[in-house]
Amino acid sequence: RRCVTSDLIITCVVPHEGYRLYFATLRSKPKSTTNTHYFCTDDEFVYENFYADFGPLNLSLLYRYSCKLNKKLKSFTLTRKRIVHYTSFDQRKRSNAAVLIGGYAVIYLKKTPEEAYRSLISGSNASYLPFRDASFGTCSFSLTLLDCLQGIRKALQHGFFDFETFDVDEYEHYERVENGDLNWIVPGKFLAFSGPHPKTKVESGYPLHAPEAYFPYFRKHNVSTVVRLNKKIYDSKRFSDAGFNHYDLFFVDGSTPSDAITRRFLHICEGTDGALAVHCKAGLGRTGTLIGCYLMKHYRFTAGEAIAWIRICRPGSVIGPQQNFLEEKQAAMWLLGDSERSQKAKLEERAVSNLITSMDDLNLNSAHNGNMCRSPSSDHLQEVTHTLTHTFTLTHTHTHSYTHTHTHTHTHTHSHSHSHTHSVARLMVCLFYPPGGADRWRTESDSGRQTESFKEPTPPPPRHHRSPEVLTPQTEGVLQRGGRQCQWMNLTDCFLSDWTR
């Protein structure tokens, strides 16, 4: 890493293929030379502010910048040249430019946020103006360059975006007010959008959309639930009659949610199949605040990372005291999330252990019964369970011995590893007590002698949507112990029902 400073230039190196990529702050526009190529994006990628906010630049601009820089680094004519991204001494433009090149270093050069940040602050007078919320007046929370880089890294780790498949045209189309004013914060889970109105119309030059305007997009993207955080402007039945779940969790514009509302929101999110479309009046402050709570609880985002990522997806989100609220709730959300994940892991561990124990007992009982009085069904069940124990490979090594009695007795000692995979556990349940009994797998061999073979059970029918209001295992399926019946059911419900009692 090398840093050069003078009255005219502050240059910091972002390492890439022998130090080809540089970031500079210049007072005047330079000319490219035979050894150096300069480029600037200050006037190309511009932040559209609401009030006193000035960044960070949104996800589509980060994508376009990355494409631009990738093209330069791969250009044959620039192969032997240093690539210098320069910006001006305008502190706002400089901070946005730093997010672009720092984000690129994290996404494409595989630098940690801290490594990229250290490169960008090398040398003297290299601090960056923190970002602020979309309001006027004194800002009570500073969003730093490092927060933005860490938010990008955390979102990348959890698969919230992938520039290999990112549809920049779709992003830029739907973020426009006339096209819905909506943005995905967590693709497939959280869609933030501006509040619908009773009628679709243009009022004072501002496009307004009725609930029906969103139906095609919601259905296409598997949105099953709408959460309204502002006062009632439209009739919620217009969504519910169209097959969407609808919830009202009102709290005052610009304020923070109560603990009861926060818990209720998290409960709805955790019990909902499909994506949630969340809105307040503008879909910025209250909407971003509650989604931020979910990010902190389930993905362990810091408050700064959550605010940064939400604003990169949907500029202007989380306003005023809502920023401090997220900061205050961070520790509680982390603790709550850690506790629930730990409890869930223990339940899954116990459930899989019970399944394995039951399988071992079934093997022993089958062998004993076969020795006393062999029957076609017991032969079949023994073969199926024997095949099952030889077929599935799991994590946590577990060694056990068991005896099979055929024409003579063999003693086998096997070492199995057991993993808590949903598909294996679901198959185990259905193999123990197959609907219709073991006879469903009987086939005739070519020689006419009756043999036994395993056929994979028919895939379960599509699951009906389950309202978050009903969170009991009985809604998904029933497992009757004693070998009589097994219906397809969600694995978590299985863990939380008979096998854990």
The answer to the question of residue 331 being in a domain is no
Cα-Cα-Cα-Cα dihedral sign, residues 287, 335, 158, 144: positive
- What is the spatial distance between Cα 499 and Cα 358, in angstroms, rounded to a whole number? 10
Question: By C-alpha distance, which of 9, 44, 42 is closest to 27?
Answer: 9
Q: Please state the domain count of the chain.
A: 2
Q: Is the pLDDT of residue 222 over 90?
A: yes
pLDDT digits (tens, 9 = 90+) for 201-211: 999 999 999 99
| pLDDT computed for residue 348 by the predictor | 83
| pLDDT computed for residue 355 by the predictor | 81
The answer to the question of residue 2 being in a domain is yes
| Beta bridge mates, 228 | 248, 279
Output 455 or 363, whichever has higher pLDDT.
Answer: 363
Mean of the pLDDT values across residues 299-311?
A: 99
Output 10 or 300, whichever has higher pLDDT.
Answer: 300
Amino acid in the structure at residue 362: L
Q: Are strands 201-203 and 182-186 parallel, antiparallel or unpaired?
A: unpaired
A 10 A CB-CB count for 139 gives 16
The answer to the question of residue 211 being in a domain is no
CATH number for position 70:
3.90.190.10
Q: Single out the residue in 107, 129, 151 at which a domain terminates.
A: 129
The answer to the question of residue 31 being in a domain is yes
Q: Single out the residue in 96, 129, 162 at which a domain terminates.
A: 129
Give the pLDDT band (50/70/90) at residue 358: confident
Output 19 or 84, whichever has higher pLDDT.
Answer: 84
The answer to the question of residue 369 being in a domain is yes
Q: Helix 285-299 and helix 321-372: axis angle, to 10°?
A: 40
The answer to the question of residue 257 being in a domain is no
Single out the catalytic residue among 280, 313, 486, 494.
280
The answer to the question of residue 303 being in a domain is no
pLDDT digits (tens, 9 = 90+) for 249-284: 999 999 999 999 999 999 999 999 999 999 999 999
Q: Single out the residue in 84, 108, 129 at which a domain terminates.
A: 129
pLDDT digits (tens, 9 = 90+) for 44-68: 999 999 999 999 999 999 999 999 9
pLDDT digits (tens, 9 = 90+) for 125-165: 578 999 999 998 899 999 999 999 999 999 999 999 999 99
Amino acid in the structure at residue 403: T
| pLDDT computed for residue 200 by the predictor | 96
Look up 280 and say whether it is catalytic. yes
Helix (H) or strand (E) holding 410: strand 409-417
Instruction: Dig out the tokens for 411 from the structure.
Output: 């003693």
Domain that holds residue 410: 340-500
